Copies of this chain bind each other. A is one copy, B any other.
Amino acid sequence: MARKRIIFSGSGGQGVITASVILAEAAVLYEGLNAVQTQSYGPEARGGATRADVIIDTKEIRYPKVDQPNILICLTQESYNKFSELIRPGGLLLVDSHFVTLARKVDARQVGVEMYNAVMEKIGKPVVFNICVLGTLIGLEKLVKPESLLKVLERRIPSEFLDLNRKALSLGLELAENLS
């Protein structure tokens, strides 16, 4: 597998850090890969744009920050405006269409998906929005298997909320499938 560099970006309450931790854990615990997950907070964190980086590789990872992501997820317009220029040529830029207008040309595949609206319509709980985003992401790019993400959710999430999370993951996978 070629090294995958992923940035999740959005605002504080959208669960981007949790999404990145879940992805990294799935890669390490259930796919035998190495992963590093980082948050750098500087002046921009005070502005409201949260960013979480994940690197996944079969090889050891020495430098844990992502300069140019293969995959960039933007869940707010602010994060799109701030980070979209970082995308690696040929990469994937995934945004939520409810929050983000694709306002810039980039040398990458830009995909807007109605993830938030789908979660609100089909599940009604914004708290699992980030899990739906993960589902869409791994539907578009085979970073890890859905079963590996599910196993992490089973470890991390109280049993009474597990079903909600399962639904959100399936919904995301479905949204990705409908795109292709």
Contacts and interface: CB of A to CB of B under 8 A. Distances in A.
Contact of A25 (B35, B41, B155, B156): B41
B35 A41 contact: yes
A157 to B, nearest CB: 11
Interface stretch (A57-65, A76-84, A102-110): A57-65
A86 interface: no
A38 B37 contact: yes
A45 interface: yes
A130 to B, nearest CB: 13
Nearest to A155: B12
A117 interface: no
Nearest to A45: B28
A6 interface: no
Interface residues of A, number: 26
A45 B34 CA distance: 9
Interface string A45-60: 1100000000000001
Contacts of A39: 21, 24, 36-38
Contacts of A12: 155
- Most chain B Cβ neighbours within 10 Å, of A13, A28, A60, A155: A28
Contacts of A60: 42
A36 B17 CA distance: 13
Given A35-B41, A41-B34, A41-B37, A28 B46 contact: yes
Interface of A: 12-13, 17, 21, 24-25, 27-29, 34-42, 45-46, 60-61, 64-65, 155-156
